[in-house]
Structure 1
Amino acid sequence: MTQALHTPPPTAPAPAEAHDLAALAARHGLSVSGARPSLPEYVRQLVARRHFIGAFATAKLTAQYSQAKLGQVWQVLTPLLNAAVYYFIFGKLLGTSRGIPDYIPFLVTGVFVWTFTQSSIMAGTRAISGNLGLVRALHFPRAALPISFALQQLQQLLFSMAALFVILLCFGIPITASWVLVLPALFLQFTFNAGVAMVMARMGAKTPDIAQLMPFVLRTWMYASGVMFSITAMMAKHKDMPSWVSTALQCNPGAIYIDLMRFALMDSFHANQLPPHVWAIATGWALLAGVGGFIYFWKAEETYGRG
């Protein structure tokens, strides 16, 4: 008979030994690979890589239409074509333009501002799952990716805004001091978009199929955000609408940022068309999404790119 030789299973280090190893690693400045840093340290790392975030966003924007013959012209042409389609369907066929002064500037502003939010969220959903090679090859705070994609869409919007200003002037809308309000409105919207993009980036990293669902969610959200119609006019027409529905439509962040931009740029869009305390609501959404989304993303930092 032969006697089988069994290799004893490896045993975990004793508590004292584990403590000695931890002390040795700390003495030589070693840390667990991929461990999540503290929140203040994470913010510091992110700020230190601000140049990478800006350069990455610009490179993505430049490469977006590099294969097209018209090149970067599509940055302006795409939202304009979308606005033209919406004008034909909603403005002409469905008659939503009735009772809305300066309907074309009203519509184009809504389309451009909504596209900023929609594109930021869609890009954020694929920020981790679509860049696994970069995530696994380099060490950097992963929040840089969804933030850079939101910054890319902000740069895209700024190109579109040049065309929007021309449209406003062509329709006789004068340049006024209220145009300065575009800056805080864009800052709040960018903060909101980046926060939601970080939420979706974490969810998309764990469940890539979410990216297939998001176009339907965003399309539904668009129809509830007053891109093609006036929420105030619709509420006046349907006075039997439940109060909670009216409040939800008015406080919808998609509608809030669109209406703020219309109020800033169009003298025919008056303050009585805005919900009460609109700037407070816009700031609240930006803080909730921006801070909450950042913390939510940071909590899963060590899981990105694994598995």
Structure 2
Amino acid sequence: MSQVLHTPPQPPAPADALDLAELAARHGLAVSGARPALPEYVRQLWARRHFITAFATAKLTAQYSQAKLGQVWQVMTPLLNAAVYYFIFGVLLGTKQGVPDYVPFLVTGVFVWTFTQSSIMAGTRAISGNLGLVRALHFPRAALPISFCLQQLQQLLFSMAALFVILLCFGVPVSASWLLVLPALLLQFGFNAGVSMLMARWGAQTPDIAQLMPFVLRTWMYVSGVMWSIAATLKNSHLPDWAMTALQCNPAAVYIDLMRFALIDSFHANQLPPHVWAVATGWSLLFGIGGFIYFWKAEETYGRG
């Protein structure tokens, strides 16, 4: 009796052997949280511009909602900082020597520096401090650091009213150069937003960076001429030319000096570094575009884990 051997039926091809990408595309499916192409990401971000503006305004309104003086602190905080710096640096250390209109010089530096400092600190916590929002809703994550930077710009604009009053009280006349404030702030906003996005990615990956940043920013403030004139203080120093140029061309000092040049008539063009507008534009484009692309590359990782 012959024994008939039957070939067992072959199992169906495993699922991973199928072209799943083609199948998903055929039915209009996409990977959840996948990073879109850069042009599409920009389009999505632009489509949510009203959300970015409203979110920034809401955060600004809520910032001092528990304080009795409310929004007055938006102006009082940088003014009190300026008063402390005036006493320590201007009076005790004598940095006001050789600096005409020292009070307007100092207050302008403090206000402009506060814009950069607050934008970077807010950007560092933009993702790690808003994980509930990031995990609950689908939107371009760059909207968060940009909105926090916009919030700080709005706060600076409130403070500028007090700055103009201070300038007038100390005899600084109104001039056409005050219009230069607008391009200077625009360039500074581009720089701040780029650094904020860079720090937002680092802060999302390593939350401890938020604890380190105050020390980094404090050091940066001291070398940026916020409370002292780089040109006046170091003109008789033995620093090499490259070090002097590096101090004058660091982005914080560039934007501070541009604002002083625009607002204070005793702050002359010879106190600015060479090609200052080109340098300011370069910093803004380098960090604005570079920080945006760097942040976008990690889009799908935010809120995971």
- SS of the equivalent of 1:166 reads helix
Aligned residues: 293
Q: Distance in 1 between matches of 2:14 and 2:264?
A: 70
The equivalent of 2:292 in structure 1 is: 294
User: Which ranges of structure 1 fall in alignment gaps of 5 or more residues?
Assistant: 1-10
Match of 2:15 in 1: 13
C-alpha distance after superposition, 1:57-106 (max 9, x if no partner): 00000000000000000000000000000000000000000010000000
How far, CA to CA, are the matches of 1:14 and 1:206 in structure 2? 32
What residue in structure 2 maps to residue 222 of structure 1?
221
Note the C-alpha offset of 1:217: 0.1
Q: CA deviation at 1:126?
A: 0.2
- 1:159 corresponds to 2:161: no
Does the residue aligned with 2:265 lie in a helix, a strand or coil? coil
Q: Deviation of residue 22 (structure 1)?
A: 2.1
Query: Are 1:61 and 2:52 counterparts?
Result: no
Q: Which residue of 2 aligns with 1:37?
A: 36
Distance 1:36 1:266, change over 3 A: same
Question: Could you tell me which residue of structure 2 aligns to residue 268 of structure 1?
Answer: 266
Summarize deviations over 1:230-255 as a string: whole Å, max 9, x none. 011122121x1122211110110000
1:247 partnered with 2:249: no
Question: C-alpha deviations, 1:44-69, integer Å up to 9, x for none?
Answer: 00000000000000000000000000
Distance, in Å, in 2 between the alignment partners of 1:99 and 1:93 is 15
Residue 193 of structure 1 aligns with which residue? 192
Name the CA shift for 1:188/1:12 in 2 (closer, same or farther; >3 Å).
farther
2:85 counterpart residue number: 86
Tell me what 2:202 maps to. 203
1:25 Cα deviation from its structure 2 partner: 1.5
Q: For the residues of structure 2 that align with 1:247 and 1:32, how far apart are their CA atoms?
A: 49
User: Aligned-pair distance for 1:12?
Assistant: 5.8
Tell me the distance in 1 between the aligned counterparts of 2:178 and 2:22. 59
Alignment of 1:77-226 (within 5 A): 77-226=76-225
User: CA–CA distance in 2 between the matches of 1:51 and 1:70?
Assistant: 29
TM-score (norm 2): 0.95
* 1:281 pairs with one of 260, 279, 282: 279
1:111-170 Cα distance to aligned partner (Å, 9 max, x none)? 000000000000000000000000000000000000000000000000110000000001
Q: Tell me, in whole angstroms, the C-alpha distance in 2 between the residues paired with 1:85 and 1:95.
A: 14
Structure 1 residue matching 2:33: 3-state secondary structure: coil
4+ long deviations beyond 6 Å: none
Question: For the residues of structure 2 that align with 1:278 and 1:272, how far apart are their CA atoms?
Answer: 11
Match of 1:259 in 2: 257
Take 1:123 and 1:29, find their aligned partners in 2: how far apart are those partners?
37
- Other-structure match for 1:5: none
Is the partner of 1:35 in helix, strand or coil? coil
SS at match of 2:274: coil
The answer for unaligned runs of 5 or more in structure 2 is: 1-12
Q: Distance in 2 between matches of 1:172 and 1:262?
A: 15
Computed over aligned residues only, the root mean square deviation of the Cα atoms, in angstroms, reads 0.9
- State which structure, 1 or 2, has the greater radius of gyration over its C-alpha atoms: 2
Q: TM-score, normalised by structure 1?
A: 0.94
Deviation at 1:28, TM superposition (A): 2.2
Q: Distance in 2 between matches of 1:29 and 1:183?
A: 46
Matched residue of 1:237: which SS?
Answer: coil
